[in-house]
A and B are shown apart, each in its own frame.
Chain A
Amino acid sequence: MTEHAALETFRSEVKTWLTQNFPKSLVGKAALYMGFDHNVPMEGDALRWRQALAERGFGAPTWPKAYGGAGLSAIEARALGEELAAAGAFNPIPLLTGMGSTMVGPTVLEYGTEDQKLRHLSPIARGEVRWCLGLSEPNAGSDLAALATKAVNKGDYWEVNGQKIWTSGADISQWCGALVRTDSNAAKRDGLSFLLFTMDQPGVTTRPIRLIAGASPFCETFFNDARGDKTDLLGPINEGWTVVKRLLQHERQSQTGAAPIASTGASLSQMAKQYVGVNDRGELNDPDLRLRLASHLMDARTHSLTLQRIAAEARGNPKVTAAASILKNSATSVAQTRAELTLEIMGHQGLGWEGSAFATDEIEAVRGWLAGKAMSIYGGSYEVQNNIISKNILGLPETTQKG
């Protein structure tokens, strides 16, 4: 069978499976479970759908079957995403697992012991365990290696003391992957290790931080003699920097705008016509907005053409590459511009916070616009990505002197 025919067979299997397993009641509900506040409880049909995905390994489709995945190739996984979107279905598992599916999981796959893979991956693939990531600290943001949280060897466990900040989902996660200092005498990057431990223990406390968008998706996280199991150091001791660099590459990869999302709303230009009106030539009534909207749509199209081109060049073996920095910055600016334009198009209606004077779409646009500002800060800020591009891709030299 040719590659193409095999893929078509796979697609039709997925279609059949979807008609048998995707509950009709969830059609068009992607936004509810995939939106900015993904705290809608998984009950009834939603729970059954999650379990069906998990049974088939579709929660983490590219992971090996032995660890709860479906062992799909990247091309098949892409096709799966497209079939889900076409059926109005969605895969809520990655969001349910916090940082589990996109970051911790792939890193465990690469650096974990067999025991760690067996214990940690399946629960993620099934969407049963939520993970948070304890990297940033008050004095260690972009300069992550400056972190101070310590883990001390106590014989049969690691004892963790210190403070993390901006820990997304810390208050609702069961597990944490944290970068901690295990050798205070070594150079900045050489004394760090990556430790996995449970959040539900006396030594861990979290304090939610309210964001400009209103919700509190992240926390200050305090470790006071918290404990990590001896078997849960990911990768060798004092080589946590290597592990976390890889993890951050996975994070960037997940932020390139590659995942197809079931489209719910009308197109931006359609929406603009409704709010702004058109002249007798059918053009938007605001000629300046019309051109800026066109520029944005061209940028968005170019971004998606670039994703396609890079996927084609990788011939179905997409590696996590430096190109992710380019794509992350491009995806960020497309998304942020889209949010700004959406608000501008809505005019005063695009300022609603809550209440019946505003449609749900309008309130979501405002919240999304605000929440989206984080895209150029986390996962390596816009500026940090440009440092990576200039040093790692273009090979530009380091500064050796101030001023």
Chain B
Amino acid sequence: MAVLTEEQTILRDQAVSWVNADAPVSAFRKLRDSGSITGFAPDTWKSICEMGWTGIVVPEAHGGSDLGYMTFGLLLEELGKQLVASPLYASGLVGATALRFAGTDAQKQNCLPAIASGEAIVTLAIDEGPRHAPDAIAMSAEKTGSGYRLNGTKSFVIEGGSATHLIVAARSGQDIVLLLVDASATGLSREVLKTADSRGYANITFKNVDVAATALMSAGHGKATLDAILDRARAGIASEMLGAASAAFDMTLEYLKTRKQFGQLIGSFQALGHRAAELYTEMELTRSAVEAALQAIDAGSKDVPLLCSLSKYKVGAFLFRMSNQLIQIHGGIGMTDEFNAGFYLKRARAVEALYGGQGFHRDRYARLSGF
């Protein structure tokens, strides 16, 4: 674990005790069993907002605390351990980041305080097909007399069902532009998805959605801005993934120390002891990559793109392996819905697909390294 400031330690400890008391995995199970279509429990969301976590990357001038991405990552890691479902990540981190990077003054003034207070849920809508492909945006933003007309579909939008605002990437002539769209706009329809992971995802269709010219966020360098936003989104979800993976590791280690077969604890079998040692080694290495990306963002390093791809790739590989081993090492118990392992496995695959999986980021790392 990185060396933390006093403030970071306090926040992290606050997160640990809140998650354990108010939002353990059993709360996520309840949410799933309730068949919720929002994908989060309203009182969970309310406490998160009250604790001010939604404002961590919002500037102080706009009602946030501006504590940075490392701090946000610490919280997401703790929440990830118990698979907490809420719009904290999608809106508090990704939405706020998009506004910071691309919002006009008026957009920032209107939306950032509302993100910080939790009144607004602002989410980013990029991908249009089954895979992350920020270079293949086809949605059109056609110039009209008073603004833009949007046509197209955005798929698998995280918290898309509950969002009050969407930041969409669209093609306007040669440019990729970002637009801030009210989710209640005429012509916009959402289909809430029932996925293996019971979090809130939605497909969103835009059919002749007319928005004012003031909806336009950044024009011209849309692609570079979009990359900067996506990298922060990747570094953030990587923290959540590290949390989920480390919880899966702890559950597995606990089982190795309690389950007996052949008259002895299964953790005494060298095959399993070595597997645990390798998983632990991989976890320690992965943590370094995840923290380095967050620290690079806070430091404004030029290595941000490289380190964010490294982080998402490494944590993706580890969570994949760890979530499979969580089931394998628990044997039959691991296969039961009553046990929590399945939730971790399902979450693992959902977040792997988000903002680029291992294949995407390995290719990008090679490209950024010049080969």
| A330: B residues at CB distance < 8 A | 281, 285
Among candidates A303, A315, A395, A399, residue contacting B3 with C-beta atoms closer than 8 Å: A315
Q: Is B240 close to A, CB under 8 A?
A: no
Q: Nearest A residue to B358 by beta-carbon distance?
A: A295
Q: Is A298 close to B, CB under 8 A?
A: yes
Chain B interface category by residue count: 35 or more
Q: Nearest B residue to A294 by beta-carbon distance?
A: B366
B299 smallest CB distance to A (angstroms): 13
> Would you call A326 and B262 a contact (CB within 8 A)?
no
Give residues 351-403 of A contacting B (CB, 8 Å).
Answer: 383, 385-387, 389-391, 393-401, 403
**9 closest pairs, A vs B, by CB?**
A390-B273, A389-B277, A294-B366, A386-B277, A306-B288, A305-B288, A396-B267, A399-B268, A386-B274
Among candidates A273, A283, A297, A302, residue contacting B289 with C-beta atoms closer than 8 Å: A302
B257 smallest CB distance to A (angstroms): 7
> Would you call B277 and A399 a contact (CB within 8 A)?
no
Q: Nearest A residue to B303 by beta-carbon distance?
A: A301
> Would you call B289 and A397 a contact (CB within 8 A)?
no
| A309: B residues at CB distance < 8 A | 2, 287-288, 291-292
> Would you call B257 and A390 a contact (CB within 8 A)?
no
> Would you call A298 and B3 a contact (CB within 8 A)?
no
Interface SS of B by simple majority: helix
> Would you call A394 and B276 a contact (CB within 8 A)?
yes
B65 smallest CB distance to A (angstroms): 24
Give residues 257-296 of B contacting A (CB, 8 Å).
Answer: 257, 262-265, 267-270, 273-274, 276-278, 280-281, 284-289, 291-292
| A395: B residues at CB distance < 8 A | 257
Cα of A330 to Cα of B287 in the assembled complex, Å? 14
Q: Nearest B residue to A284 by beta-carbon distance?
A: B371
Give B residues with C-beta under 8 Å from A. 1-3, 253, 256-257, 262-265, 267-270, 273-274, 276-278, 280-281, 284-289, 291-292, 310, 313-314, 362-363, 365-367, 369-371
Q: Nearest B residue to A297 by beta-carbon distance?
A: B369
B196 smallest CB distance to A (angstroms): 27
| A329: B residues at CB distance < 8 A | 281
Number of A-B contacts (CB under 8 A): 124
A377 smallest CB distance to B (angstroms): 16
Q: Nearest B residue to A301 by beta-carbon distance?
A: B310
> Would you call A305 and B292 a contact (CB within 8 A)?
yes
Residue of A278, A330, A389 with most partner-chain B CB within 10 A:
A389
> Would you call A397 and B369 a contact (CB within 8 A)?
no
A383 smallest CB distance to B (angstroms): 7
> Would you call B371 and A272 a contact (CB within 8 A)?
yes
Cα of A386 to Cα of B280 in the assembled complex, Å? 10
With A330-B281, A395-B257, A396-B257 given, name 19 new contacts (CB 8 A): A269-B369, A273-B371, A290-B371, A294-B369, A297-B369, A298-B310, A302-B289, A306-B288, A309-B291, A313-B2, A313-B3, A326-B281, A383-B274, A389-B281, A390-B273, A394-B273, A396-B253, A399-B270, A401-B263
Among candidates B256, B286, B287, B366, residue contacting A396 with C-beta atoms closer than 8 Å: B256
Q: Nearest B residue to A334 by beta-carbon distance?
A: B285
| B289: A residues at CB distance < 8 A | 301-302, 305
| B264: A residues at CB distance < 8 A | 397, 399-401
For this complex, 13 residue pairs linking A to B, each with C-beta atoms less than 8 Å apart, are A294-B369, A302-B286, A309-B292, A313-B2, A326-B280, A387-B270, A390-B277, A393-B280, A396-B256, A396-B267, A398-B268, A399-B268, A401-B263
Cα of A218 to Cα of B44 in the assembled complex, Å? 65
| A293: B residues at CB distance < 8 A | 366, 371
B125 smallest CB distance to A (angstroms): 29
Give A residues with C-beta under 8 Å from B. 269, 272-273, 278, 282-284, 290-291, 293-295, 297-299, 301-303, 305-306, 308-309, 312-313, 315, 323, 326, 329-330, 383, 385-387, 389-391, 393-401, 403
Cα of A272 to Cα of B263 in the assembled complex, Å? 53
Q: Nearest A residue to B289 by beta-carbon distance?
A: A302
Cα of A387 to Cα of B370 in the assembled complex, Å? 40
Residue of A386, A387, A401 with most partner-chain B CB within 10 A:
A386
Q: Nearest B residue to A390 by beta-carbon distance?
A: B273
Among candidates A313, A387, A390, residue contacting B1 with C-beta atoms closer than 8 Å: A313
Among candidates A282, A295, A399, A400, residue contacting B362 with C-beta atoms closer than 8 Å: A295
> Would you call A298 and B314 a contact (CB within 8 A)?
yes
| B310: A residues at CB distance < 8 A | 298, 301-302
| B287: A residues at CB distance < 8 A | 309
> Would you call B371 and A302 a contact (CB within 8 A)?
no
| B286: A residues at CB distance < 8 A | 302
Cα of A394 to Cα of B273 in the assembled complex, Å? 9
> Would you call A396 and B268 a contact (CB within 8 A)?
yes
Cα of A312 to Cα of B2 in the assembled complex, Å? 8
Given A302-B288, A312-B2, A386-B274: A399 and B269 within 8 A (CB)?
yes
Q: Nearest A residue to B1 by beta-carbon distance?
A: A313
Cα of A401 to Cα of B262 in the assembled complex, Å? 9
> Would you call B257 and A291 a contact (CB within 8 A)?
no
A48 smallest CB distance to B (angstroms): 40
Residue of B291, B370, B371 with most partner-chain A CB within 10 A:
B371
> Would you call A298 and B285 a contact (CB within 8 A)?
no
| A313: B residues at CB distance < 8 A | 1-3
Cα of A310 to Cα of B157 in the assembled complex, Å? 37
Residue of B2, B363, B366 with most partner-chain A CB within 10 A:
B366
B205 smallest CB distance to A (angstroms): 34
Cα of A383 to Cα of B365 in the assembled complex, Å? 31
Given A278-B371, A293-B366, A315-B3: A394 and B262 within 8 A (CB)?
no
